[in-house]
Amino acid sequence: MNGDNNTEKEKTPIDNALQTKCPSCSGTMQYSPESGTLKCIYCGHEQELDMTPVSLTGQSLDECAAQCASKLNEGINTTTVTEIKCQQCGATTTVAENITSARCAFCGSSLVLADAHERRAWKPEYMLPFSIGKKAGREAYKEWLKGKWYAPNELRKNAADTKAFQGVYMPYWAYDAETETQYKGKQGHRATRVKRVNGKEETESYTEWRNVEGEVNVDFENLLVPASDTLPAGILNKLVRWDLENCVDYREEFLSGFETELYTKDFVQAAEIAKQKMDIEIDQEIKKDIGGSDQRIDWRDTDYGDIMFKHLLLPIWISSYTYQGKIYQFVVNGRTGEVEGNYPLSKIKVAISIIIAIIIAGILVYYMMK
């Protein structure tokens, strides 16, 4: 509703072409997570966007890997982007051609526009648009900080800085696979027995082992691998609550008003990481199949089949904080509000806690000695 005349803002359909100029006032239009529309930042005019979820269809890893160079050269499923690599943290982000200044969303430092250059890159196929706006994302971040008593007070002040809180679409590769694994191992059963030691009976535990072999089949769907190393893997790998069933086809309109990180690992490199993640789950299934109280895997051979992959963009709010020369980063899931990150410890607060603990321990010892 319009606060001035209480009439509903006009919403008009948008075609497939990227529109950044408002048809009403020629102002700049940006994607609004709150309304799910393109919204003019000046007059409030809105244009609807197609938010219809689509099924994620993958491409063959083996086929695309064999044709990788030719597809990039021919421009198949690729796009030309203007990118800048941050000299401070190494993040690689896309920028508009007509910008006059920019800051890195990952560390907050100024970007050197003279370093911008074009390159061919694989075009994302699907994406999850932001559904949580900057205000809600920042509130989730502040709530997360409340439980971090040892964090410096300056960090809470940083949370109120809207410039230090940026929305970024992060690149991911998603993999599907139907795996078949042959294995050999041992099944263990724990038991007890009584033996005589120095004339006395003692009970000891031991494990009886027997050789086993078998086969397990594990299917994977949309196994996510971050396509960029800008954010610590420990942070991104904890952001797992993605509603991929609501993915839409990639459209540049959703990028308006946000930054986009480019992939630094292609789908072939990321596939090796995906296999490592698959192996962890496969080993768990093998141990379940072996049974018993203990399991050992002596050998296994996995056929990953024809791995399929997709290129996705997922929404993340990012804030960074520099403390004693080290950059600490925090992220908010742009769909759920889930917060992950690392933070510095205030030496003063840690010292105070130690002093208080010593005083309390001293008081307890004093009363125990009385």
pLDDT in tens, 179-220: 999 999 999 999 988 888 888 888 889 999 999 999 999 999
112-133 mean pLDDT:
83
Rounded Cα gap, residues 227 and 179, in angstroms: 23
- In 3-state terms, what secondary structure has residue 270? helix
Q: Which of 45-49, 115-119, 227-231, 263-267 shows the lowest mean pLDDT across its residues?
A: 115-119
pLDDT for the residue numbered 19: 45
Q: Kind of pairing, strands 11-12 and 46-48?
A: parallel
104 pLDDT higher than 50 = yes
> Quick one: 159 exposed, middle or buried, by C-beta within 10 A (0-12, 13-18, 19+)?
buried
pLDDT for the residue numbered 10: 41
Q: Which of 47-61, 100-114, 223-237, 317-331 shows the lowest mean pLDDT across its residues?
A: 100-114
User: Residue 124: which residues within 8 A CB-CB, separation 6 or more?
Assistant: 171, 250, 311, 312, 313
Q: Which of 139-148, 321-330, 347-356 shows the lowest mean pLDDT across its residues?
A: 347-356
pLDDT for the residue numbered 362: 74
Which of the pair, 203 or 105, is modelled with greater confidence?
A: 203
Interior angle at CA 16, CA 258 and CA 244, nearest 5: 55
Distance, first Cα to last Cα, the chain: 72
247-276 mean pLDDT:
92
pLDDT for the residue numbered 170: 93
Q: Which of 5-9, 141-145, 259-263 shows the lowest mean pLDDT across its residues?
A: 5-9
pLDDT for the residue numbered 28: 86
4 pLDDT higher than 70 = no
- H helices of the chain, where? 61-66, 68-74, 134-146, 153-159, 233-236, 267-290, 347-369
Query: Which of the four pLDDT bands, split at 50, 70 and 90, describes residue 158?
Result: low
Which of the pair, 231 or 292, is modelled with greater confidence?
A: 292
pLDDT in tens, 71-89: 666 656 667 677 788 877 7
Query: Which of the four pLDDT bands, split at 50, 70 and 90, describes residue 16?
Result: very low
Rounded Cα gap, residues 363 and 370, in angstroms: 11
5 pLDDT higher than 70 = no
299 pLDDT higher than 70 = yes
1 pLDDT higher than 80 = no
| Domain map (residue ranges) of the chain | 1-49, 51-370
Beta-sheet strands, E only, within the chain: 11-12, 29-32, 37-40, 46-48, 59-60, 78-85, 92-94, 117-122, 126-127, 165-197, 200-226, 248-249, 259-260, 294-303, 308-323, 326-333, 339-341
27-51 mean pLDDT:
91
The CA distances from residue 110 to 99, 100, 273, in Å, are 13, 11, 32
pTM for the model stands at 0.80
The CA distances from residue 133 to 38, 137, 140, 146, 336, in Å, are 13, 6, 11, 20, 11
Q: Are 327 and 240 in contact (CB under 8 A)?
A: no
CB atoms within 10 A of CB 236: 21
Q: Which of 13-27, 277-291, 335-349 shows the lowest mean pLDDT across its residues?
A: 13-27
Q: Are 60 and 104 in contact (CB under 8 A)?
A: no
Q: Which of 364, 314, 338 is nearest to 130 (CA)?
A: 314
Interior angle at CA 77, CA 315 and CA 131, nearest 5: 15
Query: Which of the four pLDDT bands, split at 50, 70 and 90, describes residue 161?
Result: low
Which of the pair, 11 or 122, is modelled with greater confidence?
A: 122
- In 3-state terms, what secondary structure has residue 66? helix
pLDDT for the residue numbered 18: 41
Which of the pair, 134 or 115, is modelled with greater confidence?
A: 134
Q: In the predicted model, what is the mean pLDDT of the chain?
A: 83
346 pLDDT higher than 70 = no
Rounded Cα gap, residues 367 and 361, in angstroms: 10
Q: What are phi and psi of 239, to 5 degrees?
A: -85, 90
pLDDT for the residue numbered 89: 78
